[in-house]
A and B are shown apart, each in its own frame.
Chain A
Amino acid sequence: MAQLHMFWPDGTALPRLEALDIFHIESGGCTGCALELASLSRALLAGNHPIRFVPTPRQAGMLLLTGSLTVGMAPVVELAWQAMPGPRVLAVVGDCAVDGGLFGGNYAVLGGVGVRARSNVSLPGCPPAPDEILAALVRWQAAEGKR
């Protein structure tokens, strides 16, 4: 079993990961979830793992959203989704993205994409830790593989 070296001594045991390019958008939270994603991204990069965070939606297979979806970010998210190729999936990470969390709907916020669109991966937490985010991605890959 592969090890994910999360920069701390013990590392995390990993099953085989499938290649996945993820485009992340922070859509209006506190960036706590994004900080944990950054930790995950660095760990994956350091271990040459095939899950990568990419700088453009045009090559991404997964759109991963954090934050509560402000009215300003809604069209940006929509454009990114439209720009993604082929079969694409949506992941919502953190309470904000799942249902708005502490930043529920108001004049500036739509209150989370998770309640508006069908997501393939949905992970609550404020914020979920990097290993929990990775576990959710691995669970989804495993479920997809069985189909």
Chain B
Amino acid sequence: MSEGIVALIRQGAPTPCAGRFVLEAEAWQAMIAGLSAADLPLLGLWSDGVQVHALFHHDPMPLVASVVVSSGGYPALSPVRVGARAPERIIHDLWGIPAIRGRCDPWLDQGRWPVASPLAAHPAPTPGLPEGREFIDDAAVRQAGGTVLGYGPAEGNFRAPFHLRLGLPGARIEAVQPCMGYAHRGVAARLRGLAPQQAARLVARIDAPATVAHQLAFARALHNATGTVMPAQDVAAGVMLGAMERIATHLDVLAQASAIVGDGRSATLAASMLEQMRQICRNICGRRLLFDVIPPAAAFLMNVDGTQLATLAAQHALLHRLFWRPRGLAAQARGKGVLSATMAARLGIMGCNARAAQKGQGDVTDRLEARLGEIGASLSLLAAPPESAVMEVEGGGGEGLGWAEGPAGPVWHWLRLEAGHVAAWWCGEPSLAQVQALPAILSGAAYEDVDLIVVSLGLSATGADL
């Protein structure tokens, strides 16, 4: 069935971006009708003001279906792909373009932006709401009755701000309403008109724990747009720096999760390994956090000291033992915050959280175990770097799509260049799908476990809000 949809999309008008086709309105409708029975995960949905683009996962190459926005908007994908709900609301927030038969209530704009549709050609000034947007409890919260508790946006922790409104009729959470936008910095508006080098600096600062993935995905999109191959040396640097980032971010998650459940030994060990990793980053790149490392400097030499790697490998083995010891982190997190493989597939969640769901039941323990496993694999990769070849380009007509595997899942960048500058840009990030999965993941959880569950997902509001 999905092959039929793929063929339908490919019958659209080809574009300068490899794998992107513009569909007539009727074909878009036919695609929506066919999607309900097709296995074609939606990875992202965005607009450039003229068209709306839907990114689908398809081997060996991703597919983008586009449709021209009419005066009434565009037919919604959310009736057949739940993961489209948030992006449809975001498109409405940013461009004022409604999804026909989709929801148009705000996702990012909590009533405090001074303009409506800030990315549109002529954004209209709005007086804003002095008190911000009021929470309107949906049916689930109303039915839950009982207590309503909040989580975020300021918990005194070190993560990006977002808010959850949680309905607890008893001891367990029954209703979850995420409220986003606190971390929205208007990155798409900032990137417009920038030269690629300036844009890359900003892209590196979308989300610090996944900065290498963002830099790499953006660089790949740029190479595809300009039709220039990515040199083998840059490809190799990307692989190694990506491994370093994965180790550091996974260790940060494990240190946080251990601290939350009161496992001091694991927390100290993971934090100590993290600091060693940051030191290695500083030795190699001149900075503890891996900003502005792609494209690598001409003199860049990727060489991790063997003794340091051996120490980390031994500590990793110990961390693994501590994780599985009786009453250790694994035992304490078992059964909490389940993200099932079915839910992951429905929302287009990929990466380590999806792999954890496929391997086990998809609870916090499975996710942390997946991260532990990836730390080991990444350490091995650093010890024996693979051969790298140049990245061949696809397209080259001024528009490109690129992706990279980040610590919490794949990161996508799409861009269009005009006169050598960024004219339009989009970024797809795993956190937006995670936020949409939170009502299912947190349902039945105790309030005390919300922090642990959120940490185990690697959820980043800066990535989701942009």
Contacts and interface: CB of A to CB of B under 8 A. Distances in A.
B185 A76 contact: no
Interface in B282-305: 288-289, 291
Contacts of B123: 107
A46 to B, nearest CB: 6
A30 B462 contact: yes
A15 interface: no
Contacts of A138: none
B158 interface: yes
Interface in B154-176: 154-161
B132 interface: yes
B156 A108 contact: no
A72 B184 contact: yes
A126 B132 CA distance: 31
B154 A70 contact: no
Interface stretch (A21-29, A113-121, A139-147): A21-29
A111 to B, nearest CB: 10
Interface string B271-290: 11011101100000000110
Interface in B77-114: 110, 112-114
B209 interface: yes
Contact of B288 (A36, A76, A107): A36
Given A32-B289, A42-B271, A55-B155, A76 B205 contact: no
A32 B161 contact: no
B186 A32 contact: no
A32 to B, nearest CB: 4
A109 B186 contact: yes
Contact of B183 (A6, A70, A126): A70
A30 B161 contact: no
Interface string A30-41: 111011111101
Contact of A7 (B184, B211, B271): B271
B350 to A, nearest CB: 22
Contacts of A72: 110, 112, 132, 153, 161, 181-184
B185 A108 contact: yes
B207 interface: yes
B208 interface: yes
A75 interface: yes
Given A7-B272, A8-B276, A108-B118, A73 B113 contact: no
B234 interface: no
A107 B460 CA distance: 22
A72 B153 CA distance: 10
B334 interface: no
B156 A107 contact: no
A76 B118 contact: no
Interface string B178-209: 00011111100110000000000110011111
Contacts of A127: 208, 289
A71 B112 contact: yes
A131 B271 CA distance: 16
A7 B208 contact: no
A102 B186 CA distance: 12
A28 B186 CA distance: 11
A122 interface: no
B252 A108 contact: no
Interface residues of A, number: 46
User: Counting chain B CB atoms within 10 Å of each CB, which of A39, A41, A53, A107 scores highest?
Assistant: A107
B147 interface: no
Contacts of B274: 7, 39
A56 B156 contact: yes
B161 A27 contact: yes
B115 interface: yes
B158 A25 contact: no
A58 to B, nearest CB: 11
A7 B158 CA distance: 19
B182 A35 contact: no
B186 A6 contact: no
A8 B460 CA distance: 27
A44 B132 CA distance: 37
Interface in A90-135: 102-103, 106-109, 126-127, 129
Nearest to A107: B118
A11 to B, nearest CB: 11
20 contacts: A23-B156, A24-B158, A28-B184, A30-B462, A31-B208, A38-B158, A38-B252, A39-B274, A55-B157, A70-B183, A72-B110, A72-B161, A73-B182, A74-B112, A77-B154, A103-B190, A107-B115, A107-B118, A108-B113, A127-B289
Given A7-B271, A35-B158, 15 more contacts: A7-B276, A25-B161, A31-B209, A31-B460, A34-B159, A36-B288, A46-B268, A72-B181, A75-B132, A103-B185, A106-B118, A106-B190, A107-B113, A107-B115, A108-B113
Q: Nearest 10 A-B pairs (CB), nearest first?
A: A7-B275, A32-B208, A55-B156, A38-B158, A30-B205, A34-B158, A72-B182, A71-B112, A108-B186, A107-B118
